[in-house]
Structure 1
């Protein structure tokens, strides 16, 4: 076996989440290697929805290149759905990017990979992770590549290797699992008879079809059978089977002249018991899997990556407070629990059971009322969940996301682009207290009217880490970013 790279962080898996982690780590100057089994970006249609909090966090880190104006007041709303009920609206501050952004997963992979390699990360494609282990001082990964097996050592290992994660299995992460109850399939098809395939979301007594037209005249289709799971969902899907399922669910023939990018999915659910074991971490589908409704899987995984990356970078660079890495699990696992719960609730609403008619009508009313819409929209968009506070006596502002606003000659998004925590303050006292952390925190004087409090400590991901009514600033700085320096 040849000896591969010795590095600070190995990322197993080069999908969008793994490549985003690598891009962020490399941006902080952390030597990073990505091991990806595929030799090219996967162009098959997959997830393409980015929800508000994910969009907001990505834009703060310099991705997506979307129009933003901190001067805009009020809110904006984007129509969405919950369990096939299209009364929902996702609302976000007008000073932020759009609340829902459509971006192909393959395009995100290319953007993140380009950013990662430009910053110095090494993305090794055609390298399949075979084994992983760790001890007190390092992690070791063996990957099979074009030149045979190679061993890679690192201080930390990030498992971004998908639902069948080798890292999760090899390092003994436990999981809560729920077996599938439904069968679903998808593909890109060309319909032989125009008009035979109803577009949009369609419910019948036998299940659901979802069809979206593509620019070349084909359709991206999904078909959902709610009666039972497929007896072997790893059996390759064929054009004939997809055609038969579409015809059966719609209740009339839907002949297909072409079908590509065929795949199966279900409501199989998995949630890792831990997101961290020693020097190894799980992100994205390696940590959580659920029924893919509402476009929450990709967004949840990308927020995992953004949450972990800056903490891991600070740990490598020696600017992390004691216990900072443990906050990754305490902040992100509850989010995945909520996603699992709401996707199962949506699936229940979609079942063509007459006994559920009153329940669906009730949800329709809730989604159209302001309070109910905010609750469900905040859940789907991840804007409705604050982070847990550090402990008793924390400020009510701690853990909340700070909306974009004009701060002097720029805006919050521009200030966070450098990846450093910010101390926003309207007087000199906090700045003097933070002098020992000038190597990691940027102090920005701002007008008092620009902030909801006299001073705020803001994390690189845009969440508030401290406000004056939450104890001593020096204690918060030490907790987040370690000991001061002269």
Structure 2
């Protein structure tokens, strides 16, 4: 069988992308190396993940948010964090997040500065368990007809002019397109000649779940030492940063080795009586030089890797999938020309590079030495100010994210405000069919026959219920990004050119 798209990797990014493509009518096969979808590393405490505003908006715009919210770890009515979660969550003052362990307070954030955001049931952050998130996405993918085959690792790729053959131990599969969502050590990326450029690791991060003879020998929270960093969440969850240049990454750790490591990094005489779980990670930060090579594309960790500090990786990958899904589906259906796919790299690569630098900046605050401690103290002072907390929230929550789409209106390139339409529907609900939307607020700004669509992928809604603060009309892409906007009585003549660049077609 020739699939429209073969996706390597059944993590959250691969599963979300498969849903995007299948909803648009594409046939999709997902190949996953792991034989089981269940892993202790995807469960609490190590499986804790924070979702930011763009990810929550993406889930809402595809009707998945309620199912994911039902699994969230920190529910508002409960308040207290579960055992083993990050120490900065267990604070008497409500926190909005942290930067290299330096917290900022929720009530210091000035949300009035975000004039492009409207009140919405979609929040700015949510804590979930990775296993639960993958379950929700996997169930949706299966419902949409996606075929998921586990225990089938990609071994080789042969890309041609019209299709891509992907070799596994159980034989080859064929697809018109191949997307590598197969992680930081992506076989797809290596097989298809993508460069992977960046900086090497300074430390090996160790996540451990242990029994301690005397948990009181360690101080809860994050402590910096001459060797690195020790983050202790009682009674036995540890995150260690050992500044060894990454030498300990992916190496097994026996109990006596774990104890030696803990004593060295923490500078405490502590005894481990049992080692239950161990995994490693580093602060290496690399990015593919291109996200597309012919009929092969990359998304998620296959396209970019960095330290998990700050929890940006999952959100970055979901953003890749949301951006790529509608574009690839449009090309496959013939609604758009191939050039539309070039915008995937152009839009997402700068955002990835920005996150890599955000990660590197946090590592700079963690390095052993008096200079780093002094710099961290300055950063803590800034995080305690209204301007500082608002800046950190904008970056960590993703609310300041804006694509460079060369539009004159300040909304262009931003996630569309959640306008409430006549009849009570929200824009997020209108986008659930995977279409874009033309919203007309001012009849004077209405194009001729605006109730008709230029393309099958664009829905039209006239006379929306929100007082749109001077807006005449807004064109929203299927991924929820504003592609074009004008003010009241504004010139609509530019709309066709935007649609032409979007689809390669005109009315």
Structure 1 length-normalised TM: 0.88
Of 457, 460, 468, 1:440 maps to: 457
**1:435 partner SS:** coil
Q: After TM superposition, give the deviation of residue 452 of structure 1 in Å.
A: 4.9
Cross-structure match for 1:19:
15
Say whether residues 1:201 and 2:222 are aligned partners.
yes
When residues 137 and 199 of structure 1 are mapped into structure 2, their CA distance, relative to the original with a 3 A threshold, is same
Which residue is 2:51 aligned to? 50
Matches within 5 A, 1:358-437: 358-389=374-405, 391=406, 394-408=408-422, 409-427=424-442, 429-430=446-447, 432=449, 435-437=452-454
- For 2:48 and 2:339, locate their aligned partners in 1 and report how far apart those are by CA, in whole Å: 33
Moved more, 433-442 or 167-176: 433-442
Distance across 1 between alignment mates of 2:57 and 2:453? 30
Q: Quote the Cα distance in structure 1 between the aligned partners of 2:401 and 2:357.
A: 14
| Equivalent residue number for residue 277 of structure 1 | 293
- CA offsets 1:351-378 (integer angstroms, 9 cap, x no match): 2311234422322232223333332322
Aligned length: 461
Give 1:433-472 correspondences, 5 Å limit: 435-445=452-462, 446-447=464-465, 449-450=467-468, 452-468=470-486, 471-472=493-494
Q: Which moved more, 1:332-341 or 1:436-445?
A: 436-445
Contact 2:15 2:141 (8 Å CA) reproduced: yes
Provide the C-alpha distance between the structure 2 equivalents of 1:108 and 1:335, rounded to a whole number of angstroms.
23
Q: 1:474 matched to which residue of 2?
A: 496
What is residue 81 of structure 1 aligned with on the other side? 98
Q: Which moved more, 1:83-92 or 1:398-407?
A: 83-92
Asked whether 1:352 is paired with 2:368, we answer: yes
CA RMSD of aligned residues (A): 2.3
Report if aligned partners of 1:182, 1:225 keep a CA contact under 8 Å in 2. Answer: yes
Stretches of structure 2 lacking an aligned partner (at least 5 in a row): 71-93, 112-116
Cα 1:270–1:91, aligned 2, differ >3 Å: closer, same or farther?
farther
> Cα deviations across residues 145-175 of structure 1 (Å, max 9, x unaligned)?
xxxx311111111000111111101110012
Indicate if the aligned counterparts of 1:51 and 1:382 stay in contact, CA closer than 8 A.
yes
274 and 358 in structure 1: CA distance in 2 versus 1, 3 angstrom threshold: same
Question: In structure 2, how many angstroms separate the alpha carbons of the residues matched to 1:220 and 1:109?
Answer: 23
- Alpha-carbon distance in 2 for matches of 1:47, 1:162: 18
> Whole-Å Cα distance in 2 between the matches of residues 353 and 318 of structure 1?
58
Match of 2:200 in 1: 179
Q: Secondary structure at the match of 2:21?
A: helix
| Counterpart contact for 1:458–1:465, Cα < 8 Å | yes
Stretch of structure 1 that moved more, 229-238 or 324-333: 229-238
Looking at structure 2, the residues matched to 78 and 125 of structure 1 have their Cα atoms a distance apart, in angstroms, of 39
Structure 1 residue 64 displacement after superposition: 3.0
- More deviation in 339-348 or 438-447? 438-447
- What whole-Å deviation, never above 9, does each CA across 1:218-264 have from its counterpart, x for those lacking one? 643211123x2243523212333222222223222332233233111
- 1:60 maps to 61
**1:8 maps to which residue?**
4
Preserved contact between residue 321 and residue 480 of structure 1 (Cα < 8 Å)? no
Match of 2:311 among 292, 295, 298: 295
Task: Mark the CA change 1:448 to 1:289 in structure 2 (over 3 Å): closer, same or farther.
Answer: closer
Q: 1:91 to 1:81 in 2, by over 3 A?
A: farther
| Residue in structure 2 matching 1:156, options 157, 177, 180 | 177
Could you tell me how far apart the structure 2 residues matched to 1:78 and 1:362 are?
Answer: 19
Q: In the TM superposition, what whole-angstrom CA distance separates every residue of 1:326-372 from its partner, at most 9, and x where no partner exists?
A: 11111111111111111111111122311234422322232223333
In structure 2, which of residues 134, 154, 160 is the aligned counterpart of residue 129 of structure 1?
154
Q: Structure 1 residues 362, 207: closer, same or farther in 2, change over 3 A?
A: same
**Paired position in structure 1 for 2:280:** 264
Q: Which runs of 5+ in 1 are unaligned?
A: 68-76
Judge conservation of contact 1:466–1:476 (CA < 8 Å) in 2.
yes
Of 222, 235, 239, which aligns to 1:222?
239
Cα distance in 2 for residues equivalent to 1:472 and 1:127: 48
Contact (CA 8 Å) 2:110, 2:386: kept in 1 or not?
Answer: no
Match of residue 73 from structure 1: none
**Residues 231, 238 of structure 2: 8 Å contact kept:** yes
CA–CA separation in structure 1 for the residues paired with 2:362 and 2:322: 27
Q: Please give the TM-score of this superposition, normalised by the length of structure 2.
A: 0.85
Equivalent residue in structure 2 for 1:112, among 126, 137, 146: 137
Take 2:398 and 2:327, find their aligned partners in 1: how far apart are those partners?
20
CA-CA distance at 1:56 after TM superposition: 2.0
Structure 1 counterpart of 2:88: none
Q: Determine if contact 2:204/2:241 at 8 Å carries over to the other structure.
A: yes
